[in-house]
Amino acid sequence: MTAPAPEARVREAPSNGRLVRRLSLLDSMSLVVGTIVGTGVLLKAAVMTQLLGSPWAVLAAWLAAGVLTLFGALAYAELGAMMPEAGGEYVFLRAAFGDAVAFLYGWVRFTAGSGSLAALGVSFATFLSPLVPLGGPWLRVAHTVWGVPVHWSFGAPQAAAIVPILALAAINCAGVRAGGRVQVALATIKVLAVLGIVAGALAGARTGSWTHFAQPAPGGAVTMSAFGAALVGAVWAYSGWSYLPMAAGEIRNPGRNVPRALIGGTFIVIALYLGLNAAYFYALPAGTVASANSTLHRGAPAVAALAVGSFLPTEAAKLAALVFIIATLGTLNGGLLSNSRVLFAMARTRQFFPVFGRVTRRSHVPGWAIGAFAAWASVLATSGTYDQLSDLAVFAFMIFFALTVTALFRLRATQPARPRPYRVTGYPVVPAVYVVGTVWMIGNAIATAPAQAIAALAFLLLGVPVYAWFRARRARDDAGAPGTPAPAPEELR
């Protein structure tokens, strides 16, 4: 399919208001840092240690994922500065590959990608449980589907997972500036909390010892397959870096601020993640890290909580749960703010229901799109564990991360004269390394976590007939109003 040229005029949906550029560089940097630093780094070290056993191998996985993330962020910085419109990857993919690929991205971002927001809701309940006993399920359902046992339950933990999703959706509906201020506050608290955990563990852990780095956890093994699976967990923890371009239509001076926020924020997060994971292994033996909260140990404390407990009294350590809750809320807030702009962009290009392209008169935000993401994420939050939901989301994300960076090569070739306020450092090697590394992780994920991979691919394939339906609907509309003038895409920014 031929990609739309930048100067081409396309018939868009009625504007129903417009987005306003109210996010500053500080807001944008906070969106990057505050969205990335969240539950992943507080939880994923457990499953990564189960896979690899060696603390040094786990740290190597965090570093490798960080470098790969930086390479991806450099590519997104060029794309975001070149096309600073609401929707991020949807806009880039549509310009490079056309409507079909862009729609499938938006569809997967909504259907499977909402699993990331659901996972954050589940982690909120996990961190809340030491402070407020949530009790057991109110309802249990057990069935066998195609010979596979399926268990579902609903109770206070699931209800607690839904509450922050709906509450933050309401805040974001109040306006992008309100969401931006919340993000700055939460990001600041999170960075200070991470630095506090690192300092406390290194200076005061009762069981702290550098010899922990030489003591592997039983059961793990450093193989290429295990390293790839561990990378997926780390990539999930870094995954919020891609959210900023989705909100580029509301960032002031995007040609300058999008690259600065993406690159600077990613460097900050890499340093924080390496420091925090080193603190975990200094404070705790690898076997203790491996036995922290995960799918294998659902009732265990989070690894971050165990690290805090190593240098604070029991009662004081419980208060650390509040910090973890704040970290979760920051990532969830950034996810709702950013992801909703994808549905908004789809509706504005008539690839989704028009209602999601509406902007509220008073707050100038896509309220219907925010509500849709919150509602579906709430449903998913009742359906799986943190690791299951996050693996579903990150597999779906990786497919389009690789494709979006590939779009950089195509747009360099097809639109060489388009203004680029920022160009990728190290092009073409840096984006090529990112694409190759991500494709390898996708293949490894299919082999090591087939259930989540199959679920994500099922959502992708389901989008094909849905796209066909929207395309036919758009063709009927065009046939019924052949002479209707069309606003240019830039008029909708």
Helix boundaries (H) for 136-175? 156-173
- Yes or no: say if 389 and 116 are a contact pair by the CB < 8 Å rule: yes
At residue 112, the pLDDT reads: 78
Provide the β-strand partners of residue 139: 154
Compute CA distances 168 → 92, 117, 164, 386, whole Å: 28, 11, 6, 19
User: How many whole angstroms separate alpha carbon 95 and alpha carbon 354?
Assistant: 21
Taking phi over 0 as left and psi of -120 to 50 as alpha, with beta for the rest, 59 belongs to: alpha
Tell me the pLDDT tens digit for each residue of 448-468. 778 777 887 888 899 999 999
Whether residue 341 is predicted with pLDDT greater than 80 in this model: the reply is: yes
Name the band, by pLDDT with cuts 50, 70 and 90, for residue 326: confident
Lowest-confidence region among 40-44, 200-204, 266-270: 40-44
Lowest-confidence region among 211-225, 319-333, 413-427: 319-333
Name which residue leads in pLDDT, 331 or 207: 207
Average pLDDT value for residue range 29-55: 85
Tell me the pLDDT tens digit for each residue of 365-404. 888 999 999 999 998 888 766 666 777 777 777 888 899 9
Taking alpha carbons only, the member of 21, 115, 129 closest to residue 387 is 115
Give one DSSP letter per residue of 347-404, joined into a string.
HHTTSS-GGGG---TTT-S-HHHHHHHHHHHHHHTTSS-HHHHHHHHHHHHHHHHHHH
At residue 2, the pLDDT reads: 40
Compute CA distances 412 → 87, 109, 151, 306, 421, whole Å: 20, 25, 49, 48, 13
- Yes or no: say if 305 and 324 are a contact pair by the CB < 8 Å rule: yes
Lowest-confidence region among 73-87, 217-231, 238-252, 369-383: 238-252
At residue 487, the pLDDT reads: 45
At residue 143, the pLDDT reads: 56
Average pLDDT value for residue range 341-348: 90
CA trace torsion 93, 95, 99, 100 (10° rounding): -40
Give one DSSP letter per residue of 395-442, joined into a string.
HHHHHHHHHHHHHHHHHHHH-TTS--SS--TTTTHHHHHHHHHHHHHH
Tell me the pLDDT tens digit for each residue of 429-440. 999 999 999 998
At residue 152, the pLDDT reads: 57
Amino acid code (one letter) for 44: K
- Yes or no: say if 370 and 216 are a contact pair by the CB < 8 Å rule: no
User: How many whole angstroms separate alpha carbon 252 and alpha carbon 28?
Assistant: 9
At residue 17, the pLDDT reads: 58
DSSP 295: S
Whether residue 13 is predicted with pLDDT greater than 50 in this model: the reply is: no
Single pTM value for the model: 0.77
Average pLDDT value for residue range 67-86: 90
Whether residue 259 is predicted with pLDDT greater than 80 in this model: the reply is: yes
User: How many whole angstroms separate alpha carbon 110 and alpha carbon 107?
Assistant: 5
* CATH dotted code for 32-142+157-475: 1.20.1740.10
Average pLDDT, the chain: 82
User: Whose structure tokens read 């057990």?
Assistant: 142
- How many Cβ atoms sit within 10 Å of the Cβ of residue 317? 18
User: How many whole angstroms separate alpha carbon 115 and alpha carbon 204?
Assistant: 37
Whether residue 30 is predicted with pLDDT greater than 90 in this model: the reply is: no
Tell me the pLDDT tens digit for each residue of 284-320. 999 999 998 787 777 788 888 899 889 988 766 677 7
Q: 451-477 burial string, b = 16+ CB within 10 Å, else e?
A: ebbebbbebbeebeeebeebeeebeee
Compute CA distances 11 → 204, 342, 345, 403, 448, whole Å: 63, 18, 13, 26, 44
Whether residue 87 is predicted with pLDDT greater than 90 in this model: the reply is: no
Average pLDDT value for residue range 205-216: 93
- Mapped onto helix, strand or coil, the DSSP state of residue 7 is coil
At residue 93, the pLDDT reads: 94
